[in-house]
Amino acid sequence: MLAVHFGAGNIGRGFIGHLLADSGYEVVFADINDDLISQLQQADSYRVHYAEAEGRSYEVTRFKAVHSAAEKKALVNYLETAEIVTTAVGAHVLPHVAPVIAESLKKRLGSSRPVTVIACENAVNGTDMLTDALQKHLTGAEWEKIQTFASFPNAAVDRIVPVQNMDNPLDVLVEPFFEWTIENTAGSLPPIEGAHYVDNLGAYIERKLFTVNTGHAAAAYHGYQKGYTTVQEALKDTQILKELQETLSETGALLKKKYGFDEKEHAEYIVTIISRFANEYLTDQITRVARQPMKKLGPAERLVSPALQLIDYGTTPEALLRVIRAAMLYDFAEDEEAVSLQESIRKDGPVKALASVTGLPEDHQLIQKAVGTSA
Ligand X SMILES: O=P(O)(O)OC[C@@H](O)[C@@H](O)[C@H](O)[C@H](O)CO
Q: Residues marked as binding for NAD(+)?
A: 3-14
Which listed option, ligand NAD, ligand X, none, makes contact with residue 89 (CB within 5 to 8 Å by class)?
Answer: ligand NAD
189 near ligand NAD, rule: CB under 6 A: no
**What character string, x for contact with ligand NAD (CB under 6 A) and - otherwise, covers 52-91?**
----------------x-------------------xxxx
Report helix, strand or coil for 184: coil
Strands of 195-198's sheet in order across: 155-158, 179-183, 195-198
157 near ligand NAD, rule: CB under 6 A: yes
Smallest distance, ligand X to C-beta of residue 12, A: 13
Closest CA to 187 of 127, 86, 117, 124: 117
Rounded CA gap, 216 and 220, in Å? 6
Which listed option, ligand X, ligand NAD, none, makes contact with residue 88 (CB within 5 to 8 Å by class)?
Answer: ligand NAD
Smallest distance, ligand X to C-beta of residue 367, A: 23
Which listed option, ligand NAD, ligand X, none, makes contact with residue 216 (CB within 5 to 8 Å by class)?
Answer: ligand X
CA atoms 291, 301, 156, 176: torsion sign: positive
Binding residues: 3-14
Stretch that binds ligand NAD, among 54-62, 74-82, 157-165, 272-280 (CB under 6 A): 157-165
Closest CA to 91 of 352, 302, 355, 331: 302
- 353 touches 345 (CB < 8 A): yes
Distance (Å) of CA 108 to CA 80, 95, 114: 6, 20, 9
Amino acid symbol at 154: N
Rounded CA gap, 129 and 233, in Å? 35
Closest CA to 290 of 237, 344, 234, 251: 234
Report helix, strand or coil for 257: helix
324 near ligand NAD, rule: CB under 6 A: no
Report helix, strand or coil for 357: helix
CA 142 from centroid of its chain's CA atoms: 29
Stretch that binds ligand NAD, among 2-10, 233-241, 307-315, 359-367 (CB under 6 A): 2-10
Which listed option, ligand X, ligand NAD, none, makes contact with residue 93 (CB within 5 to 8 Å by class)?
Answer: ligand NAD
93 near ligand NAD, rule: CB under 6 A: yes
33 near ligand NAD, rule: CB under 6 A: yes
CB closer to ligand X out of 25 and 210: 210
Which residues form the interface with ligand X (CB under 6 A)?
A: 122, 158-160, 212-213, 216, 289, 291-292
300 near ligand NAD, rule: CB under 6 A: no
Smallest distance, ligand X to C-beta of residue 155, A: 12
**What character string, x for contact with ligand NAD (CB under 6 A) and - otherwise, covers 108-127?**
-------------xx-----
Applying CB under 6 A, among 2, 3, 8, 327 the residue interacting with ligand NAD is: 8
Closest CA to 300 of 231, 213, 363: 213
Closest CA to 115 of 3, 23, 193, 24: 3
CB closer to ligand X out of 13 and 291: 291
Which listed option, ligand NAD, ligand X, none, makes contact with residue 254 (CB within 5 to 8 Å by class)?
Answer: none
CB closer to ligand NAD out of 305 and 369: 305
Smallest distance, ligand NAD to C-beta of residue 137, A: 15
Count the neighbouring beta carbons within 10 Å of the beta carbon of residue 44: 7
Smallest distance, ligand NAD to C-beta of residue 14, A: 8
- 219 touches 277 (CB < 8 A): yes
- 128 touches 117 (CB < 8 A): no
CA atoms 267, 268, 269, 273: torsion sign: positive
Rounded CA gap, 293 and 361, in Å? 19
Applying CB under 6 A, among 62, 72, 96, 107 the residue interacting with ligand NAD is: 96
Interface with ligand NAD by CB under 6 A: which residues?
6-12, 30-33, 36, 68, 88-91, 93, 96-97, 121-122, 157, 159-161
